Structure 1
Amino acid sequence: MRRHLSVFIALATIVSSSVACSSAPTQAIMSSTSSSSAAPTSEFTRIHHATINNGWAMSFLPGTDFLAITQRTGGLQLLNRTTGELRAISGTPEVYSQGQAGMHDIIPGPTFESDGTVYLSWVRAHAQGAQGVVGRAQLDTATGALNNLEIIWGQDPAAGSGHFSLRLLIAQNYLFVTSGDRQLGAPAQDINSNLGGVLRLSLDGQAAPGNPWNNERWTMGNRNILGIAAAENGDIWISEMGPQGGDELNKIVGGDNYGWPKTSMGSNYDGSDIPDHRSDDGFHAPATYWVPSISPGNLLIYTGALFDAFSHSALIGGLSGQRLVQVTLEEPATELNQWPMNARIRALAQAPDGALWVLEDGESGNLWELRP
């Protein structure tokens, strides 16, 4: 029997016209505590900045006023958050953009402020179907051009167009890459495959020394990881899409197996059962999970000072759930609050001033700035 840790609470969205911020529409959103813990309740406003076609991921570029935004269909956009100018970045690679495939993530490298280095992930056509790759380049924000793009890592290719994951994180001087199971399941339990887990690489794309299986793998038994973030204490967390129900928040530990497809708190799409996590099954159980699904498309660990209520917690945007969810960073984790967004939430980013930026999914996804 499936256990329900998270239950959707219908919340009211209050639209306000009393907040002045240029000529952009502004809305006030109220949160509601979804657990009995003494969690703070927050109110914030959201300010509209742009409409993005098929936006997928975004990152603020340190030392600049720019937000880099990927578009699944192949584009990269550069938004000047001060002037509001939005322009396309040139020099992008050719992508395979069927289904969930396309341009995926972009993050600044640790030397970005001195040399403009960025890391990108995308999907390219392959003789065996499609292949996720990671590249490194220099982004010139003055000209809006990618230069010296090189591919430094490749995912095991497979047929189909789903579960690439391809989220990127640089932490502890390593490049962490999330690699989905490509809707195949079994590779997530194969230590000789780089599908279905978190990978730990050097910054040039090679398997990092000291990895538990002496290859690229850092974890195994993961399904489709669309969020990865580092906490201030160094812990790394992921948000993971389950099957029918069973979406997960996990703290990753090198060498651990998270169970997919042998165990899950969800069920197969045909209705057949998957064994639940048990304390004695040898797998790392989720910190928390959602039944029914919220479809976590992203993960952000808030480290700013603008929202006291968000401090030291995770924020997850729901695609099917169409809401923003706040969760504690502990095992087990507690859901503190949720806010209805009335749209599928594809990406989250924290601005240098602590504002929270939210990108909606789809062909005309709104880009919002959230402030108290």
Structure 2
Amino acid sequence: MLATLSLLPLPLASCGAAATGDNAQGERPFTIEEMGQFEEPWAMDFDEPTGALLVTEKAGTMRLRLADGRMGRVTGLPKVDYGGQGGLGDVIFAPGQSGPTLDGREIYFSWAEAGKGDTRGAAVGRATLSCPEETACTLDDLKVIWRQSLKVTGRGHFSHRLAFSPDGQFLFVSSGERQKFTPAQDLTNNLGSIVRLLPDGSPAPGNPWADKGAPTNQIWSFGHRNVLGLAFDPQGRLWDLEHGPAGGDELNLVKPGRNYGWPLVSNGDHYDGRPIPRHDTRPDLAAPAISWNPVIAPGDFIFYTGEAFPAWRGQALIAAMVDPGIVRVRIDGDIDVDKGFEEARYSFDKRIREIEQAPDGTIWLLEDGKQRNSGKLLKLSPVTK
């Protein structure tokens, strides 16, 4: 199925510049091709050497798509605590791997797991793919390398996004505050934080509180709400994409030891209308590079580095679930002050949960969808002139 996107501008409301570029010109910068169908997909990642793709489905299954379009499954996953925002989460390939097939590839993935009583929390595992057939893989030597601490009640704000540093030495995990607010300001737990680990899951040396006990020694930054995007920019700096409450979604440059303010400040308010002090009232707390009010409800994001869309290189491409589509953001500034400016939005019919860059520089999306085969895998290619 090949279709050209109709670029319908989305409403613009953000702490940044007004939209310019493609939407302002009314151009059609890409075509859309359907590449697969999934049930409630949540995350995906490409294996660079082969072009194969792993896709997680929230209820607890993992699918694979080979570069030639053949589909398969990955078995041997742990039991997930499915419900609300919980279930199978992110998946990434360990960096620096090579070889002509997926057999022997090491992967990392996250999920919500049940605890005692009516509690649950996110976990991260590491495993090796064993693929006796190209389209049939299982997980060998699965080890849980990290857990949210503490497990609490509720089924929201797990976050559990994963990202390796560009040098492959450190694994970063986003840990949501589980809709409990105050744990995000409490360094005796790892909720509401971004943690930095070694690939085996142990706390990384040089963390801001490395001399403290676990889990404080894992923490890289804190004061976060629900981080559903983690990505490194072309300069090697870590950014997060975070859901606000009623307003105040934000993109942050993440620096070690910084407090990002939740729930003390936000550019949004509580759902019942009670106000929250704004970021500018607390200059001692880290403020976002850009925030949105009304929200965009971000899924994931990337910094684009490919050749297919040269005008977008270095910019953030954000999957949006409210007014579904892609939000494109330019980052301006220096090492001390970096601001985001919204360049364009591209409208889609369904919520966009995930976005990734393929090895060839094309852009792939996952639609949100709970019914069988309702979450489509879409490939965006540049319009040829």
TM-score, scaled to structure 2: 0.87
Instruction: Tell me the residue number matched to 2:51.
Output: 65
Q: What is the aligned partner in structure 2 of residue 367 from structure 1?
A: 377
CA RMSD of aligned residues (A): 1.7
Counterparts of 1:57 and 1:327 in 2: how far apart (Å)?
21
Q: What is the correspondence of 1:1-372 to structure 2 with a 5 Å cutoff?
A: 24-30=1-7, 35=17, 39=21, 43-82=29-68, 84-113=69-98, 115-127=104-116, 129-141=119-131, 142=134, 143-156=136-149, 157-171=151-165, 172=167, 173-214=169-210, 215-278=217-280, 280-330=282-332, 331-363=338-370, 364-372=374-382
Q: Is the 8 A contact 2:2 2:31 kept in 1?
A: no
Report the Cα distance in structure 2 between the residues aligned to 1:257 and 1:213, rounded to whole angstroms: 13
Structure 2 unaligned runs (5+)?
Answer: 211-216, 333-337
Q: What is the deviation of 1:113?
A: 2.4
In structure 2, how many angstroms separate the alpha carbons of the residues matched to 1:371 and 1:86?
21
Task: Please report how far the alpha carbon of residue 43 of structure 1 lies from its aligned counterpart in structure 2 after TM superposition.
Answer: 1.4
C-alpha contact (below 8 Å) 1:188/1:195 kept by paired residues: yes
- Give identity over the alignment, percent: 39
CA distance in 2, matches of 1:159, 1:36: 41
C-alpha separation between the residues in 1 aligned to 2:154 and 2:349?
30
Distance in 1, matches of 2:250 and 2:318, equals: 11
CA drift of 1:67 comes to 0.6
Q: Tell me, what secondary structure is at the counterpart of 1:219? A: strand
Q: Output the CA distance in 1 between the equivalents of 2:29 and 2:96.
A: 36
User: Hey, what's the Cα distance between the residues in 2 that align with 1:36 and 1:110?
Assistant: 37
Distance 1:334 1:74, change over 3 A: same
Determine the C-alpha separation between the residues in 1 that align with 2:93 and 2:6: 31
> How many equivalent pairs are there?
348
The 1:288–1:151 alpha-carbon spacing in structure 2 relative to 1, beyond 3 Å, is same
Structure 1 residue 112: Cα displacement: 3.3
Q: Which amino acid counterpart does residue 149 of structure 1 have in structure 2?
A: L
TM-score (normalizing by structure 1): 0.90
Name the aligned partner's letter for residue 223 of structure 1: R
Cα deviation, residue 31, structure 1: 7.0
CA-to-aligned-CA distance 1:132-162 (integer Å, 9 cap, x gap): 1100001235342221111011111111100
CA distance in 2, matches of 1:68, 1:86: 10
Partner of 1:21: none
Per-residue deviation, residues 236-286 of structure 1 (Å, max 9, x unmatched): 111100000100011100111100000000000110000001165311100
- Do the aligned residues in 2 keep the contact of 1:112 with 1:118 (CA within 8 Å)? no
Could you say what secondary structure the match of 1:349 adopts? strand
1:292-325 CA-to-partner distances (Å, cap 9, x unmatched) read: 0110111111111100122110011111231200
| AA aligned opposite 1:203 | P
Q: Which runs of 5+ in 1 are unaligned?
A: 1-23
- Compared with structure 1, are the counterparts of its residues 280 and 74 closer, same or farther at alpha carbon in structure 2 (3 Å cutoff)? closer
Contact 1:321 / 1:344 at 8 angstroms: preserved in 2?
yes
SS state at 2:183 partner: helix
User: What amino acid maps onto 1:348 in structure 2?
Assistant: I
Task: State whether residues 29 and 43 of structure 1, in contact with CA within 8 Å, keep that contact through their aligned partners in structure 2.
Answer: no
Give the secondary-structure state (helix, strand or coil) at the position aligned to 2:98.
Answer: helix
Alpha-carbon contact 2:185-2:223 (below 8 Å) kept: yes
SS in 1 for 2:316: strand
Q: CA deviation at 1:73?
A: 0.4
Task: Name the SS of the counterpart of 2:280 in structure 1.
Answer: coil
